[in-house]
Amino acid sequence: MKIGLLGYGVVGVGVCEWVAQCPDMHVEKVFCRRPKAGIESITVYDAQEIINDPTIDTVVEVMGGLHPAYELVSAALKKGKNVITANKNLISAYYSDLIALAYENGAALRCTAACGGGIPWLVNLERCKRLDTVCEISGIMNGTTNFIMDAMHRSPVDFSEILKQAQELGYAEADPRADIDGDDIRRKLVISANVAFDTLLREEDVPMFGIRTVSAADIEAFRQHGFVCKLIASALRSGEKVSAYLEPTLVGSGDLEAAVPSNYNLITYTGEAIGPQSFFGQGAGRYPTAYNVVQDCLDVLRGQRDFYAAAAAPAEMDPTAVMHPYYVRTEKEDGWLSGHIADRWDCGVVTDAVSVSEMLTWAKQHRAVDPTCFIAGIR
């Protein structure tokens, strides 16, 4: 396999190191925007030199972002080149377009590292579907937010302080919004749900609430009531309808999710016959992510040509399929919230069971009234 590598950042360096251990693969060219030490002989500064090179059969895209990644990946597929990518943003936004291009041009398209980093999540989801029907997926899909929530449960620390520490350790970006507000997780959930259910969800179909307003006082209240708070993404199918969402979630202190430490992820699918199966590991980082990129390359080299899902039909969203109580902390209680209160904790209230859609719609609107409000679903 002759590889053209688009991007030589943290993951790109890891890809080169893993490929060097595989005698039947070779990185022929690396597209960089500026010179990088150690790869001068294979560096190109025009990505078209990779796209138009007939000797390169596989393009590995680890640039990130939508553009020019979309244009370059599309051009590679149109030339019949296999594409391996870790770019969740790209796959989520152009899911059906890229799958269609791959099939039309007889090319492989694989993106295992885009969901779960080093966890072989998508390949096992694909494997489950050979014999069983997946009815639900859920889990912790972001290492940055799990690091923050885990640290806040371990010691009384404010959100802003632990976010700063996460940035210093390299777990959080300088601009952490995609992680703490949920965009990163939502992209992973969209891809995972589309594969699991053979559907075509869009990011805008999935309501979410992030963790930026969680406080040390909230965490203490959860601890006193036997709960641990994690940012969890979920999707389930009932007949032809799908419900997908992500929100801070209170899980029992003895649940699997409660024990997930630091920057680790835990993702679970539930099959109708096989029941739940969970996958634990590092969801990001140079070697975990690059590991799954190169595993995808090996799969293609050994004959894997199909995408993880054979179909992608638009799904009808069911906004009332999931109902449960919520913890809500706000300085400005309104009529809707007052009408749903079932209990009061030290710094917040607990609602009766309400639909996820209704709660997340209220929370989004209520932020305009109280930007510091926080909610968490209760399992």
Tell me which residues are annotated as active site: 188
> Is 234 exposed, middle or buried (CB count within 10 Å of its CB: 0-12, 13-18, 19+)?
buried
The answer to whether the CB of 249 falls within 8 A of the CB of 266 is: no
Q: What is the dihedral of CA 122, 127, 130, 132, to 10 degrees?
A: -80
Task: Report how far Cα 149 is from the mean position of its chain's Cα atoms.
Answer: 17
- What would you report as the CA-atom Rg of the chain, rounded to the nearest whole angstrom? 22
> Is 369 exposed, middle or buried (CB count within 10 Å of its CB: 0-12, 13-18, 19+)?
exposed
AA letter at 180: I
Give the C-alpha separation, 152 to 221, whole Å.
12
AA letter at 87: N
At 199, which helix (H) or strand (E)? Answer: none
Residues forming a β-bridge with 267:
139, 279
The answer to whether the CB of 186 falls within 8 A of the CB of 159 is: no
Residue 332: how many CB atoms within 10 A of its CB? 10
Give the C-alpha separation, 318 to 270, whole Å.
19
Residue 356: how many CB atoms within 10 A of its CB? 23
Give the C-alpha separation, 7 to 60, whole Å.
8
